[in-house]
Amino acid sequence: MSYRKFRADHIFTGTEILDGSNVLITDENGIIEKIVPAEEAGDNIQQFHGLLSPGLINCHCHLELSHMKGLIPEKTGLVDFVFKVVTERHFSEDEILDAIATVEDEMLSNGIVAVGDICNNTLTLPQKLKQRLAYYNFIEVSGWLPQIALTRFERSKGFYDAFANSQLSTFNSQLSLVPHAPYSVSDELWKYMQPYFAGKTVSIHNQETAFEDELFLSNSGDLVRMYEMMKIDHSHFEASGKGSLQSYFDKLSAAKNIILVHNTFTKEEDVAFVNRESSIVNQNVFFCICINANLYIENVIPPIDMLMKNNCKMVLGTDSLASNYGLNLLDEMKSIIKHFPNVGLQNLLQWATINGAEVLQMNDQLGSFEQGKKPGVILLENLNDLQITPKTKVKVVY
């Protein structure tokens, strides 16, 4: 058995940052053996300048929208953004498949090893069958009209079955049915989906716009305008008089893990509610930050300081190229640091590695340098005193 040995200025293990006196040892296939003091590591050590980290985990992506790069104007607000995404349909299948392959390459070169990917069709499946990245496939369900609930459920279930029956390896075939957003899933549709939540990770776009709370509080605002724009009959809906998250969260009680995506308008009282309810049913809730998409669509920043103060578990996502310039978690970290300079490198890396692995149920393989895992090895170069700077880069080491 031959070994590979890596040494750098620092090693981030998945939970803590060690100094340069340690050496990371893997077998020839990248499976972690151990981290040892340099004097016990023997010879043939590869030396790097920077910080070694496990590969990064992108918890929110829409790979199937990769062809929409630059198509939608910035800062229009969520309602006009969603309207554009669903009406831009003039692309050939070849264009879409090419974009998917290009973007997967981009993610790999940016040090990403696993992705939580939203799917509204099976167009990403051929690329995923190449097994270059690990995916948790979130088959998305949406439909606001109660009378189309069964049709919409059956369509998504068809995609779910196509993924389930494909030749994806066990490691790469994590799969669940997920609601798109509180404002796009009727009560009837929720009922069809709920039996599929048990033991799964379920993601949902949460409080991405202030109008989401307004809809549930008073049945007014820009989402009502969206239904009118899309000619969707909205007369069945009754406001709960509570905010969005507190109105729907209990519908997810059977899920093992929940990813709340965006949370741009989540309030402290919502977090307290979620913490209370999730502890009763013993489930893990993760708040996924996609700050560059929030800046792109609504020009707002998510309340990261409030979420941290309340000990929320955090993960990172890029969202899609319809609302971002690249699928690069380091760029997400750079934007977070710009708005929240005190977050700290160790926190950011935990969100991007071990927390992501935990919520995507890939913790036995990815997210940390623990013996027996194969998490990938990346290097962060051009750090300044353990701080990310605009010049910081990711290099894939293994």
Binding site for Zn ion (CB under 5 A): 319
Residue number, 212 or 319, with CB nearest to Zn ion: 319
The distance from CA 348 to its chain's CA centroid, rounded to whole angstroms, is 14
* Distance of closest approach, residue 317 Cβ to Zn ion, in angstroms: 8
* Distance of closest approach, residue 57 Cβ to Zn ion, in angstroms: 16
Residue number, 6 or 287, with CB nearest to Zn ion: 287
* Residue closest to Zn ion when measured from CB atoms: 319
Residue number, 211 or 369, with CB nearest to Zn ion: 211
Q: Which sign, positive or negative, has the C-alpha torsion 162, 165, 166, 168?
A: positive
Residue number, 213 or 319, with CB nearest to Zn ion: 319
Residue number, 64 or 319, with CB nearest to Zn ion: 319
* Distance of closest approach, residue 140 Cβ to Zn ion, in angstroms: 9
* Distance of closest approach, residue 290 Cβ to Zn ion, in angstroms: 7
* Distance of closest approach, residue 285 Cβ to Zn ion, in angstroms: 17
* Distance of closest approach, residue 138 Cβ to Zn ion, in angstroms: 10
* Distance of closest approach, residue 323 Cβ to Zn ion, in angstroms: 8
Closest C-alpha to 141, from 124, 162, 127, 155: 155
Amino acid at 79: V
Residue number, 117 or 319, with CB nearest to Zn ion: 319
Residues in the chain: 398
Residue number, 56 or 118, with CB nearest to Zn ion: 118
Residue number, 214 or 319, with CB nearest to Zn ion: 319
* Distance of closest approach, residue 78 Cβ to Zn ion, in angstroms: 11
